[in-house]
Amino acid sequence: MTTSFEDRILAERARMRGSIEALQKRSIEYARGERSRGILLKTLAYESTGHLDFALFDCPPVLDYGKGALVYDVDGNEYIDLHAGFTVNVLGHGNREVNEAMKAQMDRLNHFAELPVESRAELARILASRHPGDFEKKVMWAVTGGEAVEICIKLARWYTGKQIIVTHWGDYHGRTAGAMALTSKAFMMAYSYPIPPADTAVVRIPFPYCYRCPFGKEYPACDLFCADQFEKMFESKETWLNNPRAGVTNVAAMLIEPFQSSAGYLISPLPYLKRMKEIAEKYDYLFISDEVQNGMGRTGKLWAIEHAGVAPDLIAIAKSICNGLPLSAVTGRKEVLDSWGPGAHSSTFTAYPTACAGGIKVFEIFDRDRILEGAAEKGSYFLAGLEEMARRRPSIGHYNGLGLYLSIELVSDRKTKAPAGDATAWASRELLRQGVICMTSGYLYNRLCFAPPLVIEKEQIDRALNILDRVLSQMERQFEIGG
């Protein structure tokens, strides 16, 4: 029998909310020093519990300062940063050149809503020139990644005159009302109560999560079965997507993460991405790459989609453009971005001069210091360390990486692939205690994700791998994995 509203909702709300007393207890018990403990308790006293800090960690570190790929809390504890603030700090913490460039601009003019300034125009030129493809490009500015995605949605529908956006189950595209309609996280949807994101013209397809293929296939022997299944949807009049007899498609765009970030740093087969672009061209809709978390050099190329040799019509960019201040953009085809008239979309803090000055300096350093090449080289070094570790650690069921975008999936049994969710949570807490900050994610709560600043040193990678190996050894004993 289905549970009634009265018996269901209050109990579910209690589980989702937790209690302030429980968070205070965790802060008192697990804080790594008196100053940290005091600040955590002050945070709980005056900030909403709806923030992310206590969702990321049982007891989040209270950071004080950072340098490069190292951060320090207010009690002096050092951490190797394999998180980079969700990939924001691409050139590391405390980058003097970027900070000085932003300060110099701030001293001249920090903000004047949406008016042209030199730093904004120059960064637009740089970003347009870095969008792949042999066609004219332009830029539309925004502030956050979610807003950049909303621009992509609105632009695609406006330009094509079509309704449907196709995306993947497991993609993360933001939490604003429009972007949330494309984000597939159950706990986030639960908070959109009682009215869910009201976009009904969204179609989701399975992501090519080859380690746990939803079709029960094995890559590459499957010959991209998932892509074939998607294309077959266009051959029927009963799927919303297409009327084959009339030759009319209802799709405005495919908007996807080329690699899934929030879902666990999952790298899709590169031929799959190429095939998705071919299907978009065949049925005449836009192909949009959400690179908010895996762009800006993270994977060893400026844009993750470039690994597949694909030139998307639009790219959503954010987080790491200026190494720390909020700034986002949509780059892409001139004819699409110029289909809007003046004032079609605006935001008060869009492309404010200080952030743009920082972005110009970031690209200057990228070119001068060969940051992309370094990310690719150090990423291969990091991946080789994970590969060697996987040969010795029965808890590592799967690992992947491109550049400094890496993850491992923890299992209690390699043969059955039984997820080790509780063990992963334990490992995350212990890694933090031993001085490594990383992300915990995964469809089944069992992936550890690694995204350090691109300036991390090999010696720091070695230290992080040694700590990870030690923690996994302790975890395997604690949870009797592979014994």
Helix, strand, or coil here: 279?
A: helix
Least confident of 2-11, 91-100, 364-373: 2-11
Least confident of 34-48, 195-209, 379-393: 195-209
| DSSP H or E run through 248 | strand 248-249
Kindly report, residue by residue over 341-350, the tens digit of the pLDDT. Answer: 999 999 999 9
Distance (Å, whole) CA 174 – CA 292? 10
Which two three-digit tokens encode residue 100?
A: 């000085």
Number of Cβ within a 10 Å radius of residue 143: 20
Omega before 194 within 30 of 0, i.e. cis: yes
Q: Residue 452 has what pLDDT?
A: 98
Q: Residue 483 has what pLDDT?
A: 67
Q: Averaged over 394-404, what is the pLDDT?
A: 98
Topology of domain 61-94+371-478 in CATH is: Aspartate Aminotransferase, domain 1 (3.90.1150)
Q: What is the largest CA-CA distance in the chain?
A: 71
DSSP symbol at 325 = S
Closest CA to 82 of 378, 345, 470, 452: 452
pLDDT score of 6 more than 90: no
Kindly report, residue by residue over 351-361, the tens digit of the pLDDT. Answer: 999 999 999 99
Q: Which residue has the higher pLDDT, 292 or 482?
A: 292
φ, ψ for residue 481 (rounded to 5)?
A: -100, 125
Helix, strand, or coil here: 257?
A: coil
Omega before 220 within 30 of 0, i.e. cis: yes
Name the residue ranges covered by the structural domains of the chain. 61-94+371-478, 96-368
Number of Cβ within a 10 Å radius of residue 215: 11
pLDDT score of 29 more than 80: yes
Distance (Å, whole) CA 57 – CA 38? 17
Within its chain, how far is the Cα of 74 from the centroid?
A: 28
pLDDT score of 191 more than 90: no
Which two three-digit tokens encode residue 154?
A: 């609105």
Distance (Å, whole) CA 91 – CA 379? 15
323, 295 Cβ separation under 8 angstroms:
no
Within its chain, how far is the Cα of 444 from the centroid?
A: 17
Helix, strand, or coil here: 277?
A: helix
Q: Averaged over 311-333, what is the pLDDT?
A: 97
Q: Averaged over 301-320, what is the pLDDT?
A: 98
Chain-wide mean pLDDT for the chain? 95
Distance (Å, whole) CA 315 – CA 149? 9
Distance (Å, whole) CA 281 – CA 25? 55
Q: Averaged over 302-321, what is the pLDDT?
A: 98
Q: Averaged over 278-296, what is the pLDDT?
A: 97
| DSSP H or E run through 261 | none
Number of Cβ within a 10 Å radius of residue 179: 26
Kindly report, residue by residue over 42-94, the tens digit of the pLDDT. Answer: 999 999 998 989 988 999 999 999 999 999 999 999 999 999 999 999 999 99
Q: How far is the CA of 395 from the CAs of 50, 398, 431, 445, in angstroms?
A: 33, 9, 16, 14
Q: Between β-strands 436-437 and 78-81, what pairing exists: parallel, antiparallel or unpaired?
A: parallel
Residues in the chain: 483
Q: Residue 198 has what pLDDT?
A: 66
Predicted TM-score of the model (pTM): 0.95
Least confident of 167-181, 225-239, 346-360, 421-435: 167-181
DSSP symbol at 68 = B
Least confident of 68-72, 97-101, 176-180, 220-224: 176-180
Q: Residue 88 has what pLDDT?
A: 96
- Residue spans of alpha helices (H) in 109-232: 118-130, 145-160, 177-180, 186-191, 225-232
DSSP symbol at 26 = H
Helix, strand, or coil here: 445?
A: coil
Q: Given 3.40.640.10, 3.30.1330.40, 3.30.70.600, 3.30.470.10, which CATH number is that of 96-368?
A: 3.40.640.10
Helix, strand, or coil here: 232?
A: helix
Closest CA to 166 of 205, 199, 207, 224: 205
